[in-house]
Chains A and B, each alone.
Chain A
Amino acid sequence: MQQLEEKNISQVVINYTPKDFDSGEEPRWCPGCGDYAILNAVRSAFAELSKELGIPKEKFVIVSGIGCSSRFPYYMNTYGMHGIHGRAPAIATGVKVANPDLSVWVVTGDGDGLAIGGNHLIHAMRRNIDIKILLFDNRIYGLTKGQYSPTSVMGQITKSSPYGVIERPVDPVMLALSQGTTFIARAIDRDIKRLTEIIIEAGKHKGTAFIQIYQNCVVFNDKAFDDFAGKEVRSERVIELKHGKPLLFGKNLDKGIIIENGRPKVVKIGENGITEDKITVYDETDFYLNFVIATMHYPDFPEPIGIIRRVKVPTFEELLYNQIEHAKKLKGEGNLQKLIDKNSWEILPS
């Protein structure tokens, strides 16, 4: 009863501003690091989410691994766990199954989430446990001072690849697609407005949400995304995916994507008889379309940004708790004494 009242009270007073999510701890990131922008976006998104969904501050939990990015929980005035390298999805899974009422978030890096923690990431995604995973992708190991990561590009010169990287990078969105992840998005740190919107959408999603965030590391991999994410070039080199809307891009929205022989193709409206109604309309629930669009990368194509996939599928914790209820109906609520007494025999006093 008392708990219920408490809940009602907190629901009534929810009117947070981003500042309410500031823990007061001074961030220790390098000046100019993309992580600051993401921090601001998450604070704004959380304030918005708590208003829209009635989530009080104490119900947010942020779990991270190890890396510059993984310092994140310390700067948020929520419950938080700075875990160990790569294991945040596992810790978050434990939090969520223990208390499905919580809004559980994971902050991870390209090394944390895709190298050492790749296994947990894959399995969280395929289970569709309701956790939101923010992968800060700077294509470098920041905290350990500049080694190449699983998303570093071929030829990239880093401290541990002085002659250039000779491994092909992992594509995190493709990986997420292959696991049937129910919410997949890509965002750019410096486009705070869009980033905030996407985080809010992830927060509203029920199931695993995965966002690859291109994040600039000013010290060890500066300008890694400037070719397409730079302010001046972005509109021409990035395509904003919008569900139900044609795949248009360009300053004047005069370019678009059509699917020809199963492959994406860049076309210009007004050229070769292309009109706007010929442009493919994006459907975030169509796996094949999601897949085709995810194959596009700059410079061959504009880099897709936004929600790549979103579908409704029962979550892991729903299935788990439903199964518990089902088992109770089937076998009756467990009685421990009865279970222990099964197959027993009695020795009578002689």
Chain B
Amino acid sequence: MEESELGRKRKLEKVTVKFAGDSGDGIQLIGSQFTVSTAIYGNDFAIFPEFPAEIRAPAGTTYGVSAFQIQFGAIDIMTPGDEPDALVAFNPAALKVNLNLIKPGALVILNIDEFDEINFKKAEWNSIIKGEENLDEILSKYEVIKVQMNKLVIDALKDVNLPHKEKLRSRNFFALGLVCWIFMRPLEPILKFIKENFGKKPEIAKANELALKAGYNYGETLEIKHKFVKIEIPKYKFEPGKYRYVSGNEAFALGILAIKEKAKIPVVFASYPITPASDILHYLESYRNFGIIALQMEDEISAVNTAIGASFAGALGITATSGPGLSLKSEGINLAVMTELPLIVIDNQRSGPSTGMPTKTEQTDLLFALFGRHGESPLIVIAPISAGDCFYSIIEAAKLSIKYMTPVIILSELYIAMGSEPWKIPDINKIPDIEVKFWKDGSKFYPYSRDENTLARPWAKPGTPGLEHRIGGLEKSHIYGRVSYDPQNHDFMVKLRAEKIRRVQTDIPDVEVYGEEDAELLVLGWGSTFGHIRAVVERAREKGWPVAHAHLKYINPLPKNLPDILKKFKRVLIPELNLGQLLLLIRGKFLVDAVGFNKVTGTPFKESELMMAVEKELMNMEKEGKLSKPIHIQEGRFEEKEKGGAVKHATA
């Protein structure tokens, strides 16, 4: 990070800020408002909201902490940042859980009014309660601003007609105002938001507005009294155009509306609430005026079967879920494989197995999506690489699902489902139509006849005269579609269904390599890790290391050129938030020398740990004589780093 004094400002290229407090403190609200203000100010950014697992965890406890992290900057920002440069902690619990995560020297803003004995107890901060340590010692390595937020908010709201307790609820806006001052964010978009969202409760709107301004003005006090400086982050050079901020779930919902418009057929979305997929249902239910049919069913099994029934009737059936729900949908998905009907299943992966950690991210359903059904059950699997990409992925899924008459699983992740990013708004007019061909001709109709190119069977919807036919889960004879136990026919049909999915390859783009193809180490990722891996490979390449990046969005079938790409590299490093699922697939399918870098902490990769993995692998290659040029990475530095980390933890 480059720093230079410029009058009373510090100038930084990028910065990571984290807000943390009780789930009742309104952390997500101010996080998203800070993001909007940042977007309007003109920085690139990436965010990561963290929710406590319990909706109403007892106040003040460490497991009730809700947080929101944002990295923003003048450069291309691909991740929400590893270690925050600034932390706003609303209570001791919020400070305690984040202490080990923030940068040494970081700016720590505390609502000091909440740092009392009761709250230290709730946070189970025993060393402080017993007097073995005190707050100042603990925070000696940081730049600390203790703010009497409770008092200052009550003072600022003295003319507001609300009970004391209600007034205190505006503390989040006070903190937001202060952080906006520090990072020079405009208040206008937030004031507009307050007006639009609290307009019906004028006293609350007034309280929030006053608190926001009071926080901002408090910055000036800091400046005058404590010579505290503002921090300027120059604007990012965005490609000109219209932008908004979108989460993966909202992008899915918008994409589903686009499908309805482009395919010109009814769309039936049937789902059962589950974190982190429920929001798609919420959005679509609220879009009733778009003519979308969104249904909350009695369980995931019903949801997938309702979607299948809708597709049979000539609509496009879509369902969305997360791990446990995908388990329940397996049998239904197989019915769609066998009846060869269009169906889209969104799986927002979360930490498993079983209920696991529902509010944490993971990439652990890859093999499940591919193979988690009985029998030979091929289908298309697409893994969006960012929140905005969810929009395009689902449109692509609809196109392929209808063209090939097959279910598609979209393997998304909590991280992009809930996280938002600036998104260049698409021009809906420019999105091509999705071709739908219903069979009409009764004289030449056989339910399991095949399109010569795609091998798709005809889609004949009920209501069409002369096409009355029966389909189902029993094996059917080729062309005629009658129930068949003929061994040769089954062998043929199993292979035909596999071949159909293989042919989807002609419709998906080749995988692209970032960095020269004569680089020696290929980092191969899939899904949500795109931003993290690209950021690290960019940095590695700046150092002159022979590293390249390729990212898979199409998991099944895999892109046609993938085997050739893999052969060009001496080694393939596959970082995944699982224990090596893509790794197993790539090694098994292509017999290449691939190694994994894996973690399952429920959190996304950190750039630093990915960088270390790349360095380590390059060193291994160098030792094995697999690099054509020496790269001069110092031996033993990892051990040092790890030791340094340990020391830091001990003192913090």
Chain A residues near B (Cβ < 8 Å): 6, 10, 23, 25, 56-59, 61, 63, 66, 73-74, 76-84, 87, 89-99, 101-102, 119-120, 122-123, 320, 323-324, 326-328, 330-334, 336-337, 339-350
Contact = CB atoms under 8 A, between A and B. Distances in A.
A97 B310 contact: yes
Interface in B51-75: none
Nearest to A64: B472
Contacts of A320: 293, 295
Contact of B293 (A87, A98, A348): A98
B150 to A, nearest CB: 32
B302 A90 contact: yes
Nearest to B461: A99
A84 to B, nearest CB: 5
B244 A343 contact: yes
Interface of B: 36, 39-40, 42, 237-245, 254, 257-258, 261, 266, 268, 270, 287-291, 293, 295, 297-299, 301-303, 305-315, 317, 331-332, 334-335, 339, 425-429, 461-474, 482-483
A286 B309 CA distance: 34
B471 A334 contact: no
Given A82-B471, A122-B298, 11 more contacts: A81-B470, A94-B306, A94-B308, A94-B313, A98-B317, A120-B302, A326-B288, A334-B289, A339-B290, A341-B425, A350-B237
B470 A74 contact: yes
B298 A339 contact: no
12 contacts: A77-B468, A83-B472, A90-B306, A94-B305, A94-B306, A119-B298, A120-B302, A339-B287, A343-B245, A345-B39, A347-B42, A347-B238
A87 B302 contact: yes
Nearest to A82: B472
Given A6-B465, A79-B469, A119-B299, A98 B314 contact: yes
Contacts of B317: 94, 98
A42 to B, nearest CB: 14
B289 A331 contact: yes
A91 to B, nearest CB: 4
Nearest to B299: A119
A89 B308 CA distance: 12
B291 A58 contact: no
A56 B463 CA distance: 8
Given A94-B268, A94-B307, A333 B302 contact: no
Contacts of B287: 334, 339
A287 to B, nearest CB: 23
A59 B315 CA distance: 15
Contacts of B261: 336
A330 B305 contact: no
A84 B331 contact: yes
Contacts of B301: 87, 90, 120
Contacts of A339: 254, 257, 287, 290
A84 B240 CA distance: 52
Given A94-B311, A324-B288, A347-B238, A334 B257 contact: yes
Contacts of B313: 61, 94-96, 98-99, 102
A61 B468 CA distance: 9
Contacts of A91: 305-306, 308-309, 312
B240 A99 contact: no
Closest 4 pairs between A and B when the two form their complex, measured CB to CB: A94-B309, A82-B472, A334-B290, A327-B288
A348 B298 CA distance: 48
B99 to A, nearest CB: 35
Contact of A347 (B241, B465, B473): B241
Contacts of B295: 93, 97, 320
A328 B309 contact: no
A143 to B, nearest CB: 12
**Which of A120, A328, A342, A347 has the most chain B CB atoms inside 10 A of its CB?**
A347
Contacts of B466: 58
A340 B261 CA distance: 14
Contact of A59 (B241, B244, B463): B463
**Which of A340, A343, A349 has the most chain B CB atoms inside 10 A of its CB?**
A340
A339 B428 CA distance: 11
A340 B474 contact: no
A346 B241 contact: yes
A81 B289 contact: no
A349 B461 CA distance: 49
Contacts of B307: 94
B13 to A, nearest CB: 19
A101 B464 CA distance: 12
A12 to B, nearest CB: 13
**Which of A23, A123, A336 has the most chain B CB atoms inside 10 A of its CB?**
A336
B311 A80 contact: no
A101 B463 CA distance: 8
Nearest to A70: B472
B468 A79 contact: yes
B428 A99 contact: no
A77 B291 CA distance: 32
A84 B297 CA distance: 17
Nearest to A326: B288
Given A81-B309, A336-B290, A94 B270 contact: yes
Given A91-B308, A98-B314, A347 B289 contact: no
Nearest to B40: A345
A345 B312 contact: no
Contacts of B268: 94, 97-98
A93 B244 contact: no
A341 B243 CA distance: 8
Nearest to A74: B470
Given A84-B473, A87-B302, A119-B299, A341 B309 contact: no
Contacts of A342: 244
B482 to A, nearest CB: 7
Contacts of A58: 462-468
B303 to A, nearest CB: 8
Given A79-B468, A94-B270, A94-B308, A333 B289 contact: yes
Nearest to B286: A327
Contact of B469 (A56, A80, A89, A102): A80
A185 to B, nearest CB: 24
A138 to B, nearest CB: 21
A84 B291 contact: no
A81 B241 contact: no
Contacts of A78: 468
A9 to B, nearest CB: 9
A119 B288 contact: no
Given A332-B289, A341-B425, A347-B240, A63 B309 contact: yes
A340 B40 CA distance: 17
Contacts of A95: 309-310, 312-313, 462
Contacts of A328: 288-289, 291
B266 A347 contact: no
A124 B204 CA distance: 43
Contact of B465 (A10, A23, A77, A324): A10
A151 to B, nearest CB: 22
A95 B341 CA distance: 13
B275 to A, nearest CB: 22
A217 to B, nearest CB: 21
A198 B467 CA distance: 28
A269 to B, nearest CB: 47
A344 B332 CA distance: 39
Contact of A99 (B308, B334, B425, B463): B463
A99 B468 contact: no
B240 A336 contact: no
